[in-house]
Amino acid sequence: MKYTEFTGKTVEEAVEKGLQELGLTRETADIRVLEEGKKKLFGSVKARVEIAPLETEEKVEPAPAPAVEAGMTDGQRTVVFLEGLFKLLNITACTELISEEDKVEINVTAANTTAVIGKHGTMLDAIQTLAGAVANIGRDDYKRVVVDCENYRESREATLNKLAENLAQKAIRLGKKIKLEPMNPYERRIIHSALSEREGVKTVSEGKEPNRYIVVIPENLEDPEAPAIPARTERRNDRGGRRDDRRGGYGRGGKGKGGFGKGGKSGYKKYGNRSDNGGASSGGTTMKASTDFFGIFLGNSGNGGEDK
């Protein structure tokens, strides 16, 4: 509040003067007395007050809550809740109750699916958790709720199944343990289920939530004490290593074309030194860039491994 100072012979006079000048009443003003007027032997001291208008709080009407009619089923009540949630999040989406027999299944169609799904389904999982809490209000036994967005969960499951098989093959080929990135319980169950009957490997979960992850362990494990290789790092190193073996790369021991390493061809052709008259000279050689070197190196620099 912004205060204005007023003076008068008495406090009452100063207050009246201030209220009149500010166009306020005692009910709509905040008054602070700084100094009361006093009479002295020689003269007097004026009264001083500060006055400011009271701040009036505007009443904000809350947004009307979605109407929940009596007699609604758990699934119908959850759909109404999700519609209200999407309005609060400014997400244009509509929900459809697919089934609620064994479990409540709800499908969401949105203009912007990324806003509903999130990275690796994190947003969709959060929405599903809230929907599960709403659907189970007042229930003695828990009923599972699945919220999907335009068939995301099915496609994600197919992706995880493919990932599980690829990492199983890699773990067996390398004879090393491979750990995946942290996943939620739902996605970990998919990986475990995909490799439960896969010969040559087994899976275990390690770590604590929310950073719990899966480790794929091959039966031909070379060193049980060795730490697990992160799936992403292992993929880059493994592909790069094979490329070095085949193409020479920049390291030692390369045997292929296009490498600068020891044992690899340099990528340059040797030509005899020529004299001014165009004849070949017997002294030394001149290095000339081979036209086929760069084509071979660049053409195979990104897809030399088995893991495309």
113: CATH: 3.30.300.20
Same domain, yes or no: 142 and 95: yes
- pLDDT band at 159; cut points 50, 70, 90: very high
The model's pLDDT over 61-100, given as tens digits with 9 standing for 90+, comes to 555 555 556 678 999 999 999 999 999 999 999 999 999 9
**Structural domain includes residue 60:** no
Instruction: Assess contact for 191 and 214: CB atoms under 8 A.
Output: yes
Give the pLDDT score at 58. Answer: 53
Give the pLDDT score at 273. Answer: 46
Same domain, yes or no: 12 and 48: yes
Same domain, yes or no: 174 and 115: no
**Structural domain includes residue 208:** yes
**Structural domain includes residue 66:** no
The model's pLDDT over 208-266, given as tens digits with 9 standing for 90+, comes to 988 999 999 999 999 999 999 998 744 444 444 444 444 444 444 444 444 444 444 44
Give the pLDDT score at 285. Answer: 44
- What percentage of the chain has pLDDT greater than the value 90? 45
**Structural domain includes residue 271:** yes
Number of domains in the chain: 4
The model's pLDDT over 134-155, given as tens digits with 9 standing for 90+, comes to 999 988 899 999 999 989 999 9
Same domain, yes or no: 201 and 266: no
**Structural domain includes residue 237:** no
Give the pLDDT score at 55. Answer: 74
Asked if the model's pLDDT at residue 292 lies above 60, the reply is no
Same domain, yes or no: 31 and 93: no
**Structural domain includes residue 207:** yes
The model's pLDDT over 174-192, given as tens digits with 9 standing for 90+, comes to 999 999 999 988 899 999 9
Give the pLDDT score at 41. Answer: 65
Same domain, yes or no: 137 and 177: no
Cα 290 from Cα 303, distance rounded (Å): 22
**Structural domain includes residue 69:** no
Final residue of a structural domain among 124, 150, 176: 150
Final residue of a structural domain among 121, 150, 179: 150
Same domain, yes or no: 31 and 95: no
Say which residue, 9 or 303, is predicted with more confidence.
9
Burial 220-244 (b: 16+ CB within 10 A, else e): ebeeeeeebbebeebbeebbeeebb
Final residue of a structural domain among 116, 150, 184: 150
Domain range for 258:
249-299
Same domain, yes or no: 173 and 124: no
Give the pLDDT score at 232. Answer: 77
Give the pLDDT score at 56. Answer: 62
Render the chain in DSSP notation, one character per residue: ---EEEEESSHHHHHHHHHHHHT--GGGEEEEEEE--EE-SSSEE-EEEEEEEPPPPPPPPPPPPPP--TT--HHHHHHHHHHHHHHHTT--EEEEEEE-SSSEEEEEEESSHHHHH-GGGHHHHHHHHHHHHHHTTT-SS---EEEEETTHHHHHHHHHHHHHHHHHHHHHHHTS-EEPPP--HHHHHHHHHHHTT-TTEEEEEES-TTS-EEEEEETT-S-TTSPPEEHHHHHHHHHHHHHHHHH--SSTT--STT--STTS--SEEEEEEE-TTSPEEEEEEEEEE-HHHHHHHHHTSS--SS--
184: CATH: 3.30.1370.50
**Structural domain includes residue 61:** no
Same domain, yes or no: 34 and 84: no
Residue with tokens 């770590």: 207
The model's pLDDT over 260-282, given as tens digits with 9 standing for 90+, comes to 444 444 444 444 444 444 444 44
